[in-house]
Structure 1
Amino acid sequence: MLTIDFDRFPVGPTNRVLDFGCGTGRHAFEAYRRGADVVALDRDDTVLKDVRDMFAAMAYVGEAPPTAQANALRADGFALPFTDGSFDRVIAAEVLEHIRADDVALAELVRVLAPGGHIAITVPRWLPERICWTLSEAYHLVEGGHVRIYRRSGLLDMLRQAGLRPIGSHHAHAFHTPYWWLKCAFGPDNDNALVRGYHKALCWEIERGNAMTRFAERALDPVLGKSLVVYAVKD
C-alpha cells in the first residue's frame, strides 16, 4: 500500500533515495524496485531487520535491478549521519506527526537533500484526524503516538520556511478513514464485530482490490482521504 504517487514523484536508477522513518519499508521497496539506491532509516531495530531481509529477498529473486543498492540503518533523525546533499529524493511518510521538534527533523531532511532534489511528505489529513482525536484520546495519547494535527496551509508554510518549494499535493486512502473512525468510536482496543468486518474488507481491497474499487477510492480521496501528500523541491 503506497501513499506516495510515484508518477508524481519519479524515482529511477539514477536516484539516491532516503526513506526517513521507513517503518515496514513499503516506499523504500518501491524505490528499490524502480532501480534507485535506497537508504531506509528508522529507530526500530525490529522493523529494520525485516526491511533488510526484504531487500535481500528482492535482490535474490531479481525484483530489483542488479545495479541498485539498498540498506536499512538505525539513526537519530535530528542528526542524520549523511553529508549535505547526499540524496536527490527524500521520503517522509506518516512520520512528522510523531515528532515534537518537527522543524528540526525537517531541517535535517532539507540539509541532506541535494539542490534540485525532490521530497515527498505525507501526514494525516486535518479533518479525519481531528475527528479521531475527538472520538478517542487513546487514539493518539500513546507512546510514539501523534503529537499534532497539520492543516495543509500550515504544512506548506513550514516547507517554504525550511527552504523548499511545494509543487503539488493530493489526498490518499479514503477507505481507511471510516475504519479509524469506527476504531475510535468503539475504542482502539475494542474487538467490535463491525470494526473487524470493515478491517477484513479493507485488507481485501489493499491485497486484492480490483479496478473498480481502486477507482472508487481515488474518487473519494479528495473528500475522505486519510493522508495529505505534499511534493516539494529544494531550489
Structure 2
Amino acid sequence: MLTVETNRLGLRPGDWVLDLGCGEGRHCHGVHLEDGVNVVGLDMDEPSLRKAMAGVFELPPPEHPGACAFLKGDAYRLPFADGTFDAVICSEVLEHLDDYPAALAEIRRVLKSGGVFAPTVPRAWPETLCWKLAPGEGGYADQPGGHVRIFQEDTLRREIERLGYRFLGQHYAHGLHSPYWWLKCAFWSRQDDHPLIKAYHRFLVWDLMEKPALTRGLEAVAAPLMGKSVAFYFRKSAPKASGPS
C-alpha cells in the first residue's frame, strides 16, 4: 500500500533513492522492485528498521536488483554528502517533526539538482476531523511521536517551491482509510476493541491482500473526495548560473 507513485519519480537503473522516515519499509520495498534502482531507508525506530530489512527477503527478486539498505538516522542531520540521491521520498513524516523546515533543508541538500522530491502528508480536512473527534489530553493529536500540525496543501506546496523546486503534480491517496480513522477517533476510548472498528479493519486487510476490482474502483472514486493523504512531486531546480563579474 504505497502513498507515493514510484512511476512518477523517473527512476532509471543505477539511481539512488532515499526514503526518509521509512518505517517498516513499504516504499523502500516498492522501489527495490524497480530494476537496478538502489534505495536507502532511514528511520529512528530500530524495530521498524528490522522489519523493513526482513521484508526485503519476502519480495520477488527483480531481474537486476539494486542495493537496499536501512540506517538509523536523524532527519535534521542526514548522514549523506550533498547531492547523493536522485530522488527522496518523505511519506507521512513532516507532520511529526517539530522543526520540519530543518528537515526540508537537509532533504534539499542531499538531493541532486534535477532530482525528484516526493513528500506526502495527511490531507487537511480528514485530519482536522480526526483532531475534532478525539480532542484534548490523550487524544488523537496528543500521542507520543504523533502529529504536531495540520498542513494546508497550498501553503506547503508554496513553501517547498520557495526552496528552489518546480512543482510537478499531486494526487490524493487512501480514500478507504479515512473512515477507519474517523471510527477510531469517534470511539477513541475503545480503540480497536469496538466491533465497527474491528470489522472495518478486516475489510482493509482483505482489500490489501486480495486487491479486488470492486475496492480498486471504490478507492479511485474515494481518494479524490476524502483521501487521507496528499502526495506531492517536485523537481529540484539547478543552481542559477552566476553572471559575469
TM-score range, shorter chain: over 0.9
Q: Following TM superposition, by how much is the alpha carbon of 1:56 offset from its aligned partner in structure 2, in angstroms?
A: 4.4
Q: Following TM superposition, by how much is the alpha carbon of 1:6 offset from its aligned partner in structure 2, in angstroms?
A: 2.2
TM-score using structure 2 length? 0.90
**In the superposition, relative to structure 1, how do residues 188 and 164 fare at CA in structure 2: closer, same or farther (>3 Å)?**
farther
Paired with 1:57 and 1:71, the residues of 2 have a C-alpha distance of 15
Q: Following TM superposition, by how much is the alpha carbon of 1:15 offset from its aligned partner in structure 2, in angstroms?
A: 1.4
Paired with 2:189 and 2:109, the residues of 1 have a C-alpha distance of 38
Q: CA RMSD in A?
A: 1.4
Unaligned runs of 5+ residues in structure 2 are 238-245
Letter in 1 for 2:141: H
Unaligned runs of 5+ residues in structure 1 are none
Letter in 2 for 1:20: L
Q: Following TM superposition, by how much is the alpha carbon of 1:219 offset from its aligned partner in structure 2, in angstroms?
A: 1.5
- Equivalent position of 2:93 in the other structure: 95
Q: Following TM superposition, by how much is the alpha carbon of 1:229 offset from its aligned partner in structure 2, in angstroms?
A: 0.5
For the residue of structure 1 that corresponds to 2:206, the secondary structure is helix
- Equivalent position of 2:240 in the other structure: none
Paired with 2:217 and 2:182, the residues of 1 have a C-alpha distance of 22
Q: Please, which moves more after superposition, 72-81 or 202-211? A: 202-211
1:186 aligns with 2:225: no
- Equivalent position of 2:17 in the other structure: 17
- Equivalent position of 2:235 in the other structure: 233
Kindly tell me the number of residue pairs found equivalent between the two proteins. Answer: 232
Q: What do residues 95-114 of structure 1 show as CA deviations (whole Å, max 9, x unaligned)?
A: 00000100000110011000
1:177 aligns with 2:184: no
Identity of aligned residues (%): 41
Q: Please, which moves more after superposition, 212-221 or 87-96? A: 212-221
Letter in 2 for 1:127: W
**8 Å CA contact retained: 2:32, 2:65:** no
Paired with 1:47 and 1:209, the residues of 2 have a C-alpha distance of 25
- Equivalent position of 1:217 in the other structure: 219
- Equivalent position of 1:39 in the other structure: 40
TM-score using structure 1 length? 0.94
Paired with 1:142 and 1:131, the residues of 2 have a C-alpha distance of 16
Q: Following TM superposition, by how much is the alpha carbon of 1:9 offset from its aligned partner in structure 2, in angstroms?
A: 2.6
Structure 1 ranges of 4+ moved more than 4 A: none
Letter in 1 for 2:157: L
